[in-house]
Structure 1
């Protein structure tokens, strides 16, 4: 059924729709999870602990920078596009799409300038030798320019999760093929950076091809008057800034510990930490997938649902995500060590303790992802930002206390402290929402 002609689902319908969306997302992430084990194993064995640590620091710094400057325009498109889509207002949709793309490009330009400045000033402190600076800058710029938040939002607004999943699957396939080629031809850090950059370009191209085939690219390019968006959608600028700030804290805090380990313990320790973090971050990705799958349906539901439905919705989302978190933590405890051995080999066996702490952090994030989704859909992104800020502050405080004693493992413990603080604050917000609806 076309979204424009459908009525807002009730909570039971919301879960069915969100489960369908999540199924498509998990299909693409299932491909990513399996292939990522292979291409990470190739990279660790080709580069060794030291080389892989350097590669991890470069990609981690680039991802952090991209997250810092990127607006979550996919959320903006869904939040403010549901109304025009239901009304059949193509002009308003086109202006919204165009304005979101302008935000993405502005963030990319700002990020390019910051990347150059950071490499010039702190490149050596990050373990990036002069011979790697050019490759790192090029990789960072590619990472910034291939941000695909706008086409992602368009496809999800249109309920085309299958196409979004197909485009997402390009990344692991391209990285896998690229890793094999680099291993056979030129097994260096620069070679793997080229392979990862090409994967980003191909994935972005796949997204835009999907949007072009749906006719929305033509609609976006022909639309004018993006400057009218603030008047057309009151609060859109504050919403965009708030979601950007919240996502920056939430996502970059997953990369900052890696940079902290690299600065404190060196590139070899960063490589070990990265392997544990990469496996554990699958949990963070699951949290994002659940949020992205549920967000369009939550927005539609909250537009017309009676106030008493909110309490039931929060309880159901919290229960579902909490059960998933417990199940995944048990899975990590059973299968985590064998997977770690397959991916990293003997040189990375010390990452097991870090993996446990980082997995626990991911499970805490997953348990409260439903509250995050509802708060954002209710345009309470400022509250989400405050919660994320509290978590990041707790992480730095815990890291200052624990790292001198436990080293890189102390950083992993600090990440868990941050997730625990955020989960506690999210739970308090959930109780407030359930009781008062505010």
Structure 2
């Protein structure tokens, strides 16, 4: 637990600086552009991010799950093949995301809330999608436990972005300048993460990744394809709420409301980064524990992290209610003070999602991704029904209420499935074993009755 907290501390420290730098860049941009142009930039950013989430695969999930079972140099070739599979998935998804983003914007822009004023910005910013190859580097760095590397090694792009945005504010630059700045710095950040991953692989002696054989990789790792496709479907369904919400507000309300909502949402994202960092440290550990069927340590590890997340979430809700108004006034400016109530309700939803982070990670390690997918699907439907019903009546606040509804459904479902899975494991325990039977693929891991 001490080691996990130490690693989480490194990630949080690096991510805190990165998030603060990112928030300062947003604040400087907001002051430079004002609510209307900033709303267009927010719609551009949200649209491109939504397309990425709808099309891309969370390939790091299967890479970590199956990579955690490959211990020792005798599995190095299997590890190389697994990583090459993930790299090809990432590259294919990045190319597809770029083509989809450009195509949808040109053909259906007005229907998606992208008017003539935002189309040019969307076409420029969509270039970042070609470089979003994040699954492989995320898996490599997390499996190696090199959390300090990623915590502090990716701050350069954020610092460059903040510096350029500050220059733009001083020069009185227009919207196009800030779009180009965000595009270039986003690409630099993605490439730096990929570079760090290949440096780590070289340190491990895992080279010639592109020469690794792909034939038979889906046979050696049973369930790899279904896990990979399932991660894409889950991300797509979740993104219909988490990434399309700003676009929905812009479509059902106006760009100004979308800008205010986006400011509140950015503050919520700062908090959700804790859950992301906990999962980054926890997932490889609990995947190894589950593979060994060390159930006692598995339960206690998940419980410890759940308590940590619940306490932290409650503290942040209280701090938000107490200090959000002066924070917005002295950062984004008085014209964004109307986002304070939005941020309060958003933080309630964020705290609920945060508290279920460890349970979700445990379910993925247990191979319960289909159950997680069903929960996310039901929660997303609840979000869409609430959002389209309430936003026309009360504006951007309706999207925050929809997030609370979604978080309630997800938290309740995750806890119920986790308890059920543990109860079934207690009644019918299994052990992980390597299938060495004649004709079995090398290194195939199966579950046999204890």
Q: Which of 1 and 2 has higher RCO (CA within 8 Å, sep 6+)?
A: 1
Q: Distance in 1 between matches of 2:65 and 2:176?
A: 40
Q: Distance in 1 between matches of 2:399 and 2:210?
A: 49
Q: Quick one: which of 397, 402, 410 aligns to 1:414?
A: 402
Contact 1:91 1:223 (C-alpha < 8 Å) held by counterparts:
no
Please give the root-mean-square deviation of Cα atoms over the aligned residues, in Å.
2.1
Measured after TM superposition, the shift of residue 132 of structure 1 is 4.7
Q: Distance in 2 between matches of 1:380 and 1:30?
A: 31
Contact 2:234 2:376 (C-alpha < 8 Å) held by counterparts:
yes
Q: What whole-Å deviation, never above 9, does each CA across 1:143-191 have from its counterpart, x for those lacking one?
A: 3423322112111111111111123323422321221233234622221
Q: Distance in 2 between matches of 1:38 and 1:108?
A: 28
Q: Distance in 2 between matches of 1:216 and 1:227?
A: 23
Mapping of residues 316-331 of structure 1, within 5 Å: 316-331=304-319
Mapping of residues 222-233 of structure 1, within 5 Å: 222-233=210-221
Q: What whole-Å deviation, never above 9, does each CA across 1:227-272 have from its counterpart, x for those lacking one?
A: 3210110100111112222233334522221111000111111111
Q: Quick one: which of 135, 142, 145 aligns to 1:149?
A: 135
Q: Distance in 1 between matches of 2:142 and 2:167?
A: 34
Q: Distance in 2 between matches of 1:411 and 1:167?
A: 35
- State the partner residue of 1:37: 23
Cα separation, partners in 2 of 1:227 and 1:170, compared to 1, 3 Å: farther
SS in 2 for 1:219: coil
Measured after TM superposition, the shift of residue 361 of structure 1 is 0.6
TM-score, structure 2 length as denominator? 0.88
Mapping of residues 290-329 of structure 1, within 5 Å: 290-329=278-317
Mapping of residues 192-203 of structure 1, within 5 Å: 192-203=178-189
Q: What whole-Å deviation, never above 9, does each CA across 1:316-364 have from its counterpart, x for those lacking one?
A: 3322221121122122222322222233211111111111111111000
- State the partner residue of 1:391: 379
Cα separation, partners in 2 of 1:386 and 1:138, compared to 1, 3 Å: same
Q: Is residue 428 from structure 1 mapped to residue 420 from structure 2 by the alignment?
A: no
Q: Quick one: which of 52, 58, 65 aligns to 1:72?
A: 58
Contact 1:311 1:433 (C-alpha < 8 Å) held by counterparts:
no
Q: Is residue 401 from structure 1 mapped to residue 389 from structure 2 by the alignment?
A: yes
Mapping of residues 163-174 of structure 1, within 5 Å: 163-174=149-160
Measured after TM superposition, the shift of residue 45 of structure 1 is 1.1
Contact 1:178 1:196 (C-alpha < 8 Å) held by counterparts:
no
Q: Is residue 162 from structure 1 mapped to residue 148 from structure 2 by the alignment?
A: yes
Cα separation, partners in 2 of 1:111 and 1:238, compared to 1, 3 Å: same
Cα separation, partners in 2 of 1:316 and 1:221, compared to 1, 3 Å: closer
- State the partner residue of 2:243: 255
Q: Distance in 1 between matches of 2:154 and 2:341?
A: 31
SS in 1 for 2:52: helix
Q: Distance in 2 between matches of 1:211 and 1:404?
A: 46
Mapping of residues 236-275 of structure 1, within 5 Å: 236-275=224-263
Q: What whole-Å deviation, never above 9, does each CA across 1:52-98 have from its counterpart, x for those lacking one?
A: 00000000010011111111122222111122243542211211111
Q: Distance in 1 between matches of 2:10 and 2:130?
A: 26
Q: Quick one: which of 91, 102, 108 aligns to 1:105?
A: 91
Q: Quick one: which of 83, 97, 103 aligns to 2:69?
A: 83
